[in-house]
């Protein structure tokens, strides 16, 4: 089973702040995400900056697209994104158009699973050719007292059984990794717990050691 990748979410309000994080973290990372907050605050050129500075990392544009899937996914990939996110609540036509635009440019589209969605809908998306999903506990839900546990794990297993490559995110800390042991998780995505750590590089190494403990290649 492939070892899960480590992804940082750059949810900063300025590119310079985001780059302060990547300067420390990049050598430890597989995937670098231009977070929704960064993209909204600074525009899509932050994707281009990350592509230029980190040619060997996978770059994600977390645009959380809900409409104009082809145009927005195409724009993100033209700026250098390898993967681009679309909300699960978007129309299937938006998802398919985003997937096509990304694929034509050598990229991939990821469906962000937030709020209301069902496994029946997810099975439908598989039939449409969608490959990657992000199982996401929202920041707002976690702030309201949510946590990671068995029910989340079961949903992740169900998605894997449907044939998806599944990444997980939302307030994750290094302590949450063991919950997923034995599952082919695509990426662990962490924002605040990596960026705000006292020593971000040391924290990322801790994540990698914890991942290596449960997923031997």
Span near ligand 5RP by CB under 6 A; candidates 38-46, 74-82, 98-106, 184-192 = 184-192
113 is a site residue for ligand 5RP (CB under 6 A): no
Instruction: Say which DSSP state 178 is in.
Output: G
Identify which range of 147-155, 174-182, 188-196, 202-210 contacts ligand 5RP by CB under 6 A.
188-196
| Least spacing, CB of residue 62 vs ligand 5RP, in Å | 6
Q: Strands, E, within 44-138: which ranges?
A: 58-65, 83-87, 108-113, 132-136
Using rule CB under 6 A, residue 203 touches ligand 5RP: no
Least spacing, CB of residue 200 vs ligand 5RP, in Å: 13
Q: Which residue is nearest to ligand 5RP (CB)?
A: 191
* Least Cβ distance, residue 205 to ligand 5RP (angstroms): 17
The per-type count for the chain, helices as H runs and strands as E runs, is 10, 8
8 in Cβ contact with 190 (< 8 Å): yes
- In the numeric block, which tokens belong to residue 205? 């190494």
Structure tokens of 72?
Answer: 């927005």
Nearer to ligand 5RP, 113 or 190 (CB): 190
Residue 208 C-alpha from the chain's centroid? 17
Whose CA is closest to 34, among 189, 178, 204?
A: 189
Nearest distance in Å: CB 72, ligand 5RP: 16
130 near ligand 5RP (CB under 6 A): no
Site string for ligand 5RP, 22-41 (x = CB under 6 A): -------------xx-----
Q: Which stretch binds ligand 5RP (CB under 6 A): 15-23, 149-157, 163-171, 207-215?
A: 163-171
Identify the DSSP state of 168: E
> Around Cβ 163, how many Cβ atoms within 10 Å?
11
Place of tokens 């699973």: 113
- In order of 11, 169, 188, the CA distances from 40 in angstroms are 10, 19, 23
Q: Which residues bind ligand 5RP (CB under 6 A)?
A: 9, 11, 35-36, 62, 139, 169-172, 189-193
């Amino acid at each position: 089973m492939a070892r899960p990748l480590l992804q940082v979410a750059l949810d900063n309000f300025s590119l310079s702040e985001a780059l302060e994080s990547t300067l420390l973290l990049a050598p430890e990372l597989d995937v670098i995400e231009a977070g929704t907050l960064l993209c909204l605050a600074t525009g899509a050129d932050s994707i281009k900056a990350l592509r230029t500075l980190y040619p060997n990392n996978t770059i994600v544009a977390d645009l959380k697209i809900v409409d104009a899937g082809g145009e927005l996914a195409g724009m993100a990939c033209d700026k250098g994104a390898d993967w681009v996110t679309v909300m699960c609540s978007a129309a299937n036509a938006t998802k398919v158009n985003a997937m096509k635009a990304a694929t034509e440019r050598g990229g991939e589209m990821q469906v962000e699973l937030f709020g209301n969605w069902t496994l029946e809908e997810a099975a439908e998306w598989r039939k449409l050719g969608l490959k990657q999903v992000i199982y996401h506990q929202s920041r707002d839900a976690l702030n309201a007292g949510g946590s990671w546990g068995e029910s989340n794990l079961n949903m992740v297993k169900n998605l894997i059984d449907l044939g998806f490559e599944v990444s997980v995110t939302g307030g994750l800390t290094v302590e949450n990794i063991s919950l997923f042991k034995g599952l082919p998780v695509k990426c662990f995505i962490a924002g605040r717990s990596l960026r705000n750590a006292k020593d971000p590089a040391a924290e990322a190494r801790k994540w990698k050691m914890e991942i290596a403990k449960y997923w031997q290649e």
